[in-house]
Amino acid sequence: METLREILAPDFLLRNSLYTCLLVGAACPLVGVFLVLRRLAFLGVALPQISATGVALALSLHVWFGPAHSHEHGANQVVAFIGAFTFSLLAVVALAYMERTRDGRTDGRLGTAYVVATALSILLLAKCPQAEQSWLSLFKGDIIAVTNGEFRRTFILLALMLVVLGWHRRTFLLVSFDPDLANILKVSVNRWNLVLFLLIGLTVGVAVLVVGPLISFGFMLIPPMIAQRFADNMKQLAAGASLVGLVAAFAGFYVAYVADLPVGPASVGLLGAAYVLAFVVTSLLKLARPATAS
Amino acid sequence: MDGSSHRGAGSGVEATVNHEWIIRLRGLAAGYRGRAVLSDVDFTLLRGSFSALLGANGSGKSTLLKTLLGLLPPIKGQVEFRHIASPTIGYVPQQEQLDANYPLSALDVVLMSAHARIAAGFAVPAGERILARECLRATAVEDIAAQRFARLSGGQKQRVLIARALMTKPDILILDEPTAGVDASATTAILELLTGIHQERHLTILLVTHDFGIVRRHANRVAWLRNGRLTEGDTAALMTPAHIAEMLDLA
């Protein structure tokens, strides 16, 4: 109880880390809902990894272009953000284009993108031990120091993403569920798919930079998959996913703080346990009500 | 079905068809990525008709349908609409096209058709909800409005999709194999429903089917696709045993 009071105190030393976790925990699942519904879960795995490659490139720039890039934390952060964001956007635009042209298999493309991005990150950082250390911390989801500026930037960009996603939720649902109907109603499927993928890219870019790829894809995929097992409509799915993400983010942070563990793995581990629990509960409920199944 | 409910060639429906066309295709070539699946096709959809589009799998029925719906631009030729720049088309897709992964109620699915009339970011207006319920009532599934679409039976899904098409206030109703995967009694009920809608609302209906019985009983016009060519005419003229045998390569 004492620890809980300490964590919730306004002058808590790691408050920015906590707030960032909660923000990512609540926002990422809302984007993830569309990935899960469109059966693009693997995109949620590959994109953060590709985005992390952008961070790796940014962190290792000084190896390729001279030492000027390695000193100032603020400048490095901006470069890293640009790297994460640019790689996310390029990846979603390329994947959206390939989706449109139906050239090859989606799962194969995403799998290839995932392994190539990981290999590229390792190669980029091979000659730069300091950057490698920063990137590995990010990769592990070890969120310790989030500055006021980083928190502010994360908050503004995620809030912007949520406003656009909420404002156009019906259009995103229409082009996802029935693209033919959307076209008949003169809604441009390609354009709205691109907007949706850009929002996903923006969220991934922002989240990866502050909490790393592990938490990003954990929170994008697992909460919607848990909520999907209980939800009967889109509102329940979105609200449920966001709530699960928020609770897991707080619980993960609490456990990590108490047991001195990295926050990312603690949160994602809790989400995994919650998914298993949800699976067992819904399976038992289904067994208990066989007559209502159809 | 008794004789009085038959609506095929020579039935009462014939009287509702005037011979004014609503959609006309002239010299149409259609296909994918510049490769024509259909070439030099002429087709006329008569206003107020109940038309059936027949053809074997791979004959180009879906290509023709997509061209009519504006989903596929013609490679050659054109799609003409009479009197109106572009008629409102209510489309009923094959139910398997819609992913069961989405937690949508029957009402949610119907309301999708009102997308253009609902301002982004705002709640669905009460008037649209009332209209959606009216459409569900017209297809006799208002009682399942709140149920999850994916869990409905094949027949119920088709009724919901017909309600969704009616929600667009269409001039033309196009249905892609609405009885596929539906049992016999539900098939009869769906066709009776469509016939009722056709008569009450004077809608032009184009139905894609493989079922000759449906065509004989309900359609007054037939378009038959074979080897990339289209033959069209009155049901009585095209559904003769000799012509069917010819179209099925049995002659």
Say yes or no to pLDDT of B57 above 90.
Answer: no
Question: Which ipTM value was assigned to this complex?
Answer: 0.84
Q: Is the dihedral of CA A238, A240, A241, A247 positive or negative?
A: positive
Contact call for B121 and A231, based on CB within 8 A: no
Nearest in space to A44 (alpha carbons), one of A55, A57, A31:
A31
pLDDT at B3: 32
Contact call for A180 and B98, based on CB within 8 A: no
Residue-wise pLDDT tens digits, A147-164 = 888 889 899 999 999 999
Query: Rounded to whole angstroms, how far apart are CA atoms A6 and B166?
Result: 59
Query: Rounded to whole angstroms, how far apart are CA atoms B93 and B110?
Result: 13
* Residue B127, helix vs strand vs coil: helix
Chain B neighbors of A225, CB-CB under 8 A: none
CB B235 within 8 Å of CB B215: yes
Residue-wise pLDDT tens digits, B121-153 = 889 999 999 999 999 999 999 999 999 999 999
Query: Rounded to whole angstroms, how far apart are CA atoms A191 and A213?
Result: 27
Lowest mean pLDDT among A53-57, A110-114, A183-187, B18-22: B18-22
- Cα-based distances in Å from A137 to A58, A204, A212, B173, B203: 15, 17, 8, 59, 65
Chain B neighbors of A39, CB-CB under 8 A: 99, 101
Interface mutation vs chain A, best among B68, B92, B99, most A CBs within 10 Å: B99
User: What is the value of pTM for the model shown?
Assistant: 0.84
Total beta-carbon pairs less than 8 A apart between chain A and chain B: 75
Is B130 in the A-facing interface, judged by CB distances under 8 Å? no
Q: Which residues are A274's β-sheet partners? A: none
Contact call for B113 and A181, based on CB within 8 A: yes
Q: How far is CA A244 from the centre of its chain?
A: 14
Q: Which two tokens stand for residue A222?
A: 């697992």
Distance from CA of B115 to the nearest CA of A (A): 8
Say yes or no to pLDDT of A255 above 90.
Answer: yes
Q: Is residue A74 packed enough to be buried (19+ CB in 10 Å), middle (13-18) or exposed (0-12)?
A: exposed
Confidence of residue B223 (pLDDT cuts 50, 70, 90): very high
Chain B neighbors of A195, CB-CB under 8 A: none
CB-closest option in A174, A233, A236 to B112 = A174
Nearest in space to A216 (alpha carbons), one of A156, A131, A158:
A158
Is B112 in the A-facing interface, judged by CB distances under 8 Å? yes
Nearest in space to A89 (alpha carbons), one of A198, A190, A165, A195:
A198
Output b/e per residue, B206-233; b: 16+ Cβ within 10 A.
bbbbebeebbbbbbbbbbbbbebebbbe
Q: Residue B148 has what DSSP assignment?
A: B
